[in-house]
Structure formats: structure tokens, C-alpha cells
Amino acid sequence: MRERTQLESGINATRKLERDLDDAVTLAELADEVKDESSIEEARRMIAELIARVKQAELESLLSGEADANDCYLEVHAGQGGTEAQDWAEMMARMYSRWAEKKGYKVEYLEESAGDGAGIKSVTFRITGHNAYGWLKTESGVHRLVRISPYDSNARRHTSFASAWVYPVVDETINIEINEKDCRIDTYRSSGAGGQHVNKTDSAVRITHIPTNIVVQCQNERSQHQNRAKCWDMLRARLYEQELERREAKAAATEAAKTDIGWGHQIRSYVLQPYQLVKDLRTEVETSDTQGVLDGDLDKFMAASLASRIKTASDLTH
């Protein structure tokens, strides 16, 4: 039923575009006959709006993977570099939160590990909304920041790294079997702001899947039971994402995007000094609007990466 609803929505959207285009063309022709400048201008406005809607529809048509329509989990981890990297990780978390909010998605924080002096060591949140995983899946990788450090009294330029990890939420129609004997479950005291509750109870839960060395953790719920349930959901999602990557790697004859992240393999550079530039190193897409990107303007990078992945897979399979 969900697939049917999505297909009907796509068909109806396309038919509406066709109707609106006919209306705009008819208005333009009539206005031209009677030399009505205000109507001609209205037709121009309608067509410009249609172009924007068509471009958005083209982007959404790229989201046709098995799990693209699902919600997703997103993790951000600081790399080497101490406070600098932890501050960059917090900036990245804000960037993705802002992007999700602009899309009308819901953002739910599940776990956050505060930095030593500023920023964060890691954060995990769930993003809920149609096509959340499809949009964000190409963001997995290392992100590099170059700027004048606000933590350096000599105002020197620093390079910092942080990584993003995205995997789909598994719904009840997908069966992922996990042997509890293969897992180690640890409980610990929640950290960060949260009042007396998080300071006095060992409610946070961490599960390690020993065969794959996948680690998930949750601390935002008030009870250990709730955090444990969230962890199992996250582990199922991680294992499912790993299977999707295995299939993609086999079909495309290339490595999956989520292999071990090395600090020499960044996917995007964000340069704030000595010039302003954000450049995706996979697609060569770039912009000088660095503040816009850090405020969540990421669609151009996501669209280019999606188009590139689809083209690569098509070329290799044919």
C-alpha cells in the first residue's frame, strides 16, 4: 500500500505539471493576441515556477533504491584534531539538522557524546520523513574543514576532519535476524545535559555486534528498557544497510560507500580561509556560498552524487 501511494503520488504530480503547463501556454497565447502585458508577465511567472517544480521532480526520480523512501539514522564522528575536530563535528550535526528541518523532516537525537572543551565527539539522530535515506545516503564519508581556528591564539589556519554515517531505518516488513549470543550489551551513565535522571541512573545502553564489530548506543530515553529497544532497532538498521551495500557493490562492481573511513579519503572540502569554497571531490560540484551550505543548503551536492551513482551503476552493468 505504501508503494502504491508513492506511485500514485508521482503520477498525480506529473499530471498536474502537464495541466499547469497547458494553462500557462494557453494564458501566454491569449495574452499575446491581445497584447496584455500583465497576463504575459503572469504566464512567465507560472512557467518559471513550473521549471523549479520539474527540477525538483527530476531529483526525486533519482530516489528509486530499495530503501530510499525510508527514514534514516545519521551519525557524525569527530576525527583527529581534538577540540578543532569536535567543533567541526558539531557544525556538521547542525548542518544536517538544518537541512532536515528545511525539508520538513523530524529530527530526533538519540545519543550525543560531548567534546572535551567544545563541540562533540559523536552524535546520532534519527531523521523521519519520506525519502530521508535516499537523500542522505551519499553523505556518508569524511568531510574536511579548513579555517582560521577560533581556538588558536595565534590565529593559524587549521584543517579538521569529521565523518558522517547514514543508514536506513528498517520497518516491520523487513526481517533481520540477530543472534543475541553474538552481541555484547553494556550499560553506562548518560552524559550531558538532562537533569538529575541522567546523572543518577545507568540508563544508557551500548550494543556491540561481535561478528561485524558494529556498535550502536542510545541514551536519550528515560529508561534502560527504552534505550535498549532503540539500540536493537539501530543494530537491525545497520545490518540491513550493510546488506544493501553488499548488493550494490556486487551490481556496480565497486566498493560500497561505507568501508572504513581513512583520513585521506574525504568526499567534500569546506574551505573558509583563505577563500570561501565548498567542493565535492566526487562530482566536482562547488559553491562559494559556504554559509548557505553550513546552514543546510545541500541539495545540489546530494543531487549530483545521486546522479553520478546511478550513471556509474548503469555504465558498469551495461
Q: In CATH terms, is domain 72-172+259-317 a member of 3.30.70.1660?
A: yes
Contacts of residue 140, Cβ cutoff 8 Å, sequence gap at least 6: 164, 165, 166, 257, 258
DSSP of 189-214: ---SS--HHHHH---EEEEEETTTTE
The pLDDT assigned to 272 comes to 93
Asked whether the predicted pLDDT for residue 78 surpasses 80, the reply is yes
The kind and range of the H/E element at 109 are strand 106-114
pTM of structure: 0.69
Least confident of 94-108, 180-194, 279-293: 180-194
Instruction: Over range 55-60, report the average pLDDT.
Output: 78
Asked whether the predicted pLDDT for residue 174 surpasses 70, the reply is no
DSSP of 15-61: HHHHHHHHHHHHHHHHHHHHT-HHHHHHHHHHHHHHHHHHHHHHHHH
User: What strand order describes the sheet that includes 141-148?
Assistant: 106-114, 120-128, 72-78, 157-168, 141-148, 266-271, 277-280, 286-287
pLDDT digits (tens, 9 = 90+) for 294-314: 999 999 999 888 888 766 555
The pLDDT assigned to 244 comes to 77
Is the fold of 72-172+259-317 the same as that of 180-250?
Answer: no
Geometric angle at alpha carbon 79, from 77 and 84, rounded to 5°: 105
- Under a CB-based contact definition with an 8 Å cutoff, are residues 293 and 304 in contact? no
Across the chain, mean pLDDT equals 83
- Residue 138 backbone dihedrals phi, psi, to 5 degrees: -85, 0
The pLDDT assigned to 13 comes to 87
CA distance linking residue 314 with residue 176, whole number of Å: 29
- Alpha-carbon dihedral sign for residues 259, 264, 265, 270: positive
Give residue 48's pLDDT band: very low, low, confident or very high (50, 70, 90). Answer: very high
Residue, of 279 and 204, whose pLDDT is higher: 279
The kind and range of the H/E element at 299 are helix 299-317
pLDDT digits (tens, 9 = 90+) for 244-299: 777 666 545 434 444 444 455 689 999 998 899 999 998 999 999 999 999 999 99
SS3 67: coil
pLDDT digits (tens, 9 = 90+) for 125-134: 999 998 899 9
* Domain locations in the chain as residue ranges: 2-61, 72-172+259-317, 180-250
DSSP of 218-266: E--SSSHHHHHHHHHHHHHHHHHHHHHHHHHHHHHTS--TTS---TT-E
The pLDDT assigned to 315 comes to 53
SS3 179: coil
Q: In CATH terms, is domain 180-250 a member of 3.90.1170.50?
A: no
Amino acid at 294: L
Give residue 220's pLDDT band: very low, low, confident or very high (50, 70, 90). Answer: confident
The pLDDT assigned to 106 comes to 94
The pLDDT assigned to 201 comes to 63
Contacts of residue 207, Cβ cutoff 8 Å, sequence gap at least 6: 183, 184, 185, 186, 215, 216, 217, 228, 231, 232, 235
| Listed residue (185, 72, 219, 59) closest to 133, CA to CA | 72
